[in-house]
Amino acid sequence: MNRFFERISASVAMACGQPAAFILAFTVIIIWAVTGPIFHWSDTWQLVINTGTTIVTFLMVFLIQNAQNRDASAIQAKLDELIRAGGKARNEFIGIEHLSESELVALRGVLEKIAGDEMAHHRAIERLIARR
């Protein structure tokens, strides 16, 4: 079941990110708007678009979240491999995505202190940008 959902999720997410999907959605809205006078701008006419868009949005949230979770996991695995294979990186950082938010904030604070003065970083970035 998971594999089936992943395949469907990936396919739908890819298809929905294409220009044709936007054109289709835009066309549906135009057709709905044009039919307004035909249905005398009735409550049912409004309910059709509201219900349709709500259902599509509800389903897309789960499909997009699944695609983002897979992408994040793949990126994390790649970063973990770079840390493992790199010369100066510390292997202890592999798996830190499982820490709590407060632990990650504390870790980031420690790393920023180790990295040095924030103003020095800003000046270095400004010099880098100026070189372009």
Residues 57-66: tens digit of each pLDDT: 999 998 888 8
Do 74 and 129 lie in one domain? The reply is: no
Mean pLDDT value of segment 71-83: 83
Enclosing domain of residue 112: 99-132
Do 61 and 105 lie in one domain? The reply is: no
Q: Given pLDDT bands bounded at 50, 70 and 90, which one contains residue 51?
A: very high
Q: In this predicted structure, what is the pLDDT of residue 22?
A: 95
The percentage of the chain sitting over the pLDDT mark of 90, rounded to a whole number, equals 33
Q: In this predicted structure, what is the pLDDT of residue 57?
A: 94
Do 17 and 50 lie in one domain? The reply is: yes
Do 88 and 112 lie in one domain? The reply is: no
Q: In this predicted structure, what is the pLDDT of residue 77?
A: 82
Do 11 and 55 lie in one domain? The reply is: yes
* CA distances, 85 to each of 23, 35, 61, 91, 117 (Å): 45, 61, 36, 9, 29
Do 70 and 21 lie in one domain? The reply is: yes
Do 76 and 46 lie in one domain? The reply is: yes
Q: Is the pLDDT of residue 38 over 80?
A: yes
